[in-house]
Amino acid sequence: MLVDVYKSSSNPEKFLSVPAGTDIGKFSVAELDADYRAVAIFKQNLDVDPSTPRVALSSAEIVRAIEDHGFATHDALVTGSLEQH
């Protein structure tokens, strides 16, 4: 599934994904979460395959949410730690 990914302007860890070419103005996502009042395009025509693992997001959950609701809201946060040996 090709998707366009938008990044929240107020929270850099929050993203909105929609089918590529979709007018996001038809969704009331900001009513669910104020962090989505202002978004900016992050990636266009990203190929999200539910069977392909990705860092920082669940492709299967995004595809399922888009199929169910027309859009997917998700976080993309990668954390790590360093150990001294």
Q: pLDDT tens for residues 1-17?
A: 999 999 999 999 999 99
What SS3 state is found at 46? strand
The Cα 3–Cα 35 span in angstroms is: 20
The Cα 15–Cα 5 span in angstroms is: 7
Chain centroid to Cα 67, Å, comes to 14
**What CATH architecture is 2-75?**
Roll (3.10)
Domain ranges of the chain: 2-75
Nearest to 73 by CA among 57, 49, 52: 57
Question: Which amino acid is residue 18, in one-letter code?
Answer: V
Q: pLDDT tens for residues 33-80?
A: 999 999 999 999 999 998 887 776 788 999 999 999 999 999 875 656
